[in-house]
């Protein structure tokens, strides 16, 4: 049997996953495509438990027959992504703090900016330097950040932040480092083998292979579900569940679309199918893991939200299951033995 080969190419830019080209003879491999088949007489369930989720998903015949090939021709640390690599390295050795106390510290935050009740911008894992001379935010926000602690929401009105004037900012801090942002020559010289930010950046660019390949592999793993979903056949899902999923997504992002909800629900069904077909977890395992969640994360959830959460809590387990079964290889364009077309 010929193997299905999925070709993943990484380009400059924080080792971003850009596209997946499928070098595959699907007929020979016996795999489906990421497509929909319609069934008739489908009920309109309000809960995932009201249907057999696995009947809506036809997984690839065998994950072990799939090779993922990482194109390493363009794996580089460049001017466009070197700062991401540099700060990842600096955070590994920086002192972790529990609260913002002094100028020259850096917080990693998730934030939402609203104006007159309308969301203007949302970002996760945003690096925010704490300084009374910051050009990113005003004094009101500086004062609100003083003493802020990890995990405790901060609500700021009449803020100037990240190019927005007179807005409301809601943020939560996930990490605080005793490190300035932007980082300074002084900090780099005292805490690394380099004597300046410039020299550290140049060294990372000149010696990029190991770090970049590590990032590439991490992105390969993080993209496995989407990659495998592209090789999966789905029966068209009940409209009632798509609308339920849309309601959930719009709680976090009012601009979430129907198509995003549809893709999100397909992902949940894919996870459910892998859990069932590969014995990733039992219903008891799922209930136990859900019960261990912090009460603040589960309080007020609808029955539908609780059910979807139980599956999403096993997303990493599903990725691990797939990763153990597929083959991941590196290859340059010159090593390719036959011409292949990128999908």
Question: Do residues 151 and 52 both lie within one domain?
Answer: no
Question: Do residues 232 and 316 both lie within one domain?
Answer: yes
Look at residue 112 and tell me if it is in a domain. yes
Question: Do residues 161 and 255 both lie within one domain?
Answer: no
Tell me the per-residue pLDDT of 179-225, one tens digit each, with 9 for 90 and over: 999 999 999 999 998 999 999 998 888 776 555 566 656 666 667 88
What's this model's pTM, rounded to 2 decimal places? 0.50
Measured distance CA(79)–CA(89) in Å, rounded: 16
Question: Do residues 153 and 249 both lie within one domain?
Answer: no
Question: Do residues 60 and 99 both lie within one domain?
Answer: no
Give the DSSP per-residue string, 232-284.
-EEEPPPHHHHHHHHHHHHHH-TT--HHHHHHHHHHHHHHHHHHHHTT---HH
Label residue 245 by pLDDT band (50, 70, 90).
very high
Look at residue 51 and tell me if it is in a domain. yes
Beta bridge partners, 118, equal 115
Look at residue 155 and tell me if it is in a domain. yes
Question: Do residues 231 and 319 both lie within one domain?
Answer: yes
Tell me the per-residue pLDDT of 35-68, one tens digit each, with 9 for 90 and over: 444 444 446 899 999 999 999 999 988 777 777 7
Look at residue 88 and tell me if it is in a domain. no
pLDDT of residue 75: 52
Number of independent structural domains in the chain: 2
Measured distance CA(56)–CA(32) in Å, rounded: 13
Question: Do residues 49 and 140 both lie within one domain?
Answer: no
Question: Do residues 163 and 230 both lie within one domain?
Answer: no
Question: Do residues 260 and 307 both lie within one domain?
Answer: yes
Question: Do residues 160 and 225 both lie within one domain?
Answer: no
Residue 27 has pLDDT above 90, yes or no: no
Look at residue 108 and tell me if it is in a domain. yes
Question: Do residues 227 and 167 both lie within one domain?
Answer: no
Look at residue 309 and tell me if it is in a domain. yes
Look at residue 266 and tell me if it is in a domain. yes
**Low-confidence winner among 35-39, 76-80, 288-292 (lowest mean pLDDT):** 35-39
pLDDT of residue 219: 64
Helices 258-277, 303-312: inter-axial angle, 10-degree rounding: 60
pLDDT of residue 340: 37
Label residue 6 by pLDDT band (50, 70, 90).
low
Measured distance CA(195)–CA(66) in Å, rounded: 46
Q: Which of the listed residues 156, 178, 200 is the one where a domain comes to its end?
A: 178
Residue 72 has pLDDT above 90, yes or no: no
Could you list the residue range(s) of the whole structural domain that residue 119 is in? 95-178
Question: Do residues 137 and 230 both lie within one domain?
Answer: no
Contact partners, residue 49, CB within 8 Å, separation at least 6: 307
Look at residue 252 and tell me if it is in a domain. yes
Query: What CATH number has the domain bearing residue 106?
Result: 3.10.50.40
Residue 310 has pLDDT above 70, yes or no: yes
């Amino acid at each position: 049997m010929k193997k299905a080969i999925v070709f993943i190419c990484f380009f400059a830019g924080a080792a971003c996953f850009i596209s997946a080209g499928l070098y595959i003879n699907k007929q020979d491999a016996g795999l489906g495509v990421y497509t929909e088949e319609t069934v008739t007489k489908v009920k309109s369930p309000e809960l995932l438990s009201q249907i057999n989720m696995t009947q809506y998903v036809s997984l690839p015949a065998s994950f072990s027959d799939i090779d993922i090939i990482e194109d390493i021709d363009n794996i580089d640390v460049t001017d466009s992504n070197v700062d991401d690599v540099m700060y990842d390295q600096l955070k590994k050795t920086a002192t972790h703090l529990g609260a913002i106390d002094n100028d020259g510290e850096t917080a990693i935050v998730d934030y939402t900016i609203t104006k007159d009740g309308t969301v203007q911008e949302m970002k996760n894992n945003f690096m925010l330097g704490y300084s009374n001379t910051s050009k990113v935010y005003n004094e009101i926000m500086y004062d609100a950040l003083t003493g802020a602690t990890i995990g405790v929401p901060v609500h700021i009105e009449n803020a100037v932040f990240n190019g927005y004037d007179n807005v409301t900012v809601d943020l939560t801090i996930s990490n605080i480092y005793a490190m300035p942002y932007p980082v300074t020559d002084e900090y780099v010289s005292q805490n690394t083998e380099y004597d300046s930010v410039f020299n550290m950046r140049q060294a990372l660019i000149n010696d990029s292979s190991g770090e970049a390949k590590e990032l590439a592999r991490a992105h390969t793993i993080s993209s496995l579900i989407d990659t495998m979903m592209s090789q999966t056949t789905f029966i068209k899902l009940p409209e009632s569940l798509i609308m339920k999923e849309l309601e959930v997504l719009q709680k976090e992002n009012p601009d979430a679309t129907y198509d995003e909800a549809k893709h999100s629900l397909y992902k949940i069904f894919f996870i459910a199918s892998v859990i069932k077909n590969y014995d990733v977890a039992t219903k008891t395992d799922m209930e136990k893991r859900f019960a261990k969640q912090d009460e603040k994360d589960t309080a007020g959830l609808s029955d539908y939200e609780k059910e979807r959460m139980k599956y999403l809590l096993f997303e990493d387990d599903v990725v691990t299951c797939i990763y153990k079964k597929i083959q991941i290889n590196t290859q340059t364009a010159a090593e390719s033995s036959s011409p292949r077309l990128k999908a």
